[in-house]
Amino acid sequence: MTYVVTDACIKCKYTDCVEVCPVDCFYEGENMLVINPSECIDCGVCEPECPAEAILPDTEDGQEKWLELNTKFSAEWPNITEKKDPPEDADEFKGAEGKFEKFFSAEPGEGD
């Protein structure tokens, strides 16, 4: 098992999760974060820290897509280990539906 970041993170990108991760397995895209499944130790400390409730165990139904996305982009995007301010409009997108289709960007973020 591992944890994955889902589309609930898109355009919210709260980074509370990266601050508590003991193995620094988060990677930053332009408008979301992902977890490197091979680095994640399944401790779960990140899950309750996410205000957007975007982090889930990959064992839940329907998470295969997110496991693939997290695996792919954690190999391409820079590592992030320190909390940053979320986008100014993050709260407007929290809980919005269909964010992957509307807003996903494969562009990398800045990382640390």
In a domain, 59, yes or no: yes
Residue 101 within any structural domain of the chain: no
In a domain, 96, yes or no: no
Question: What's the number of domains the chain is made of?
Answer: 1
Q: Which residues contact 67 (CB under 8 A, 6 or more apart)?
A: 2, 4, 37, 58
Per DSSP, 102 falls in state H
Can you give the CATH number for the domain in which 46 is found?
3.30.70.20
Q: Are 2 and 42 in contact (CB under 8 A)?
A: yes
Using only the alpha carbons of the chain, give its radius of gyration: 12
Interval 39-94: pLDDT, tens: 999 999 999 999 999 999 999 898 999 999 999 999 999 999 999 999 999 999 99
- Separation of alpha carbons 41 and 102, rounded Å: 31
Instruction: Decide: helix, strand or coil at residue 33.
Output: strand
Whether 16 is covered by a domain: the verdict is yes
User: What confidence tens digit (pLDDT) does each residue in 11-33 have?
Assistant: 999 999 999 999 999 999 999 99
Is 100 domain-assigned?
no
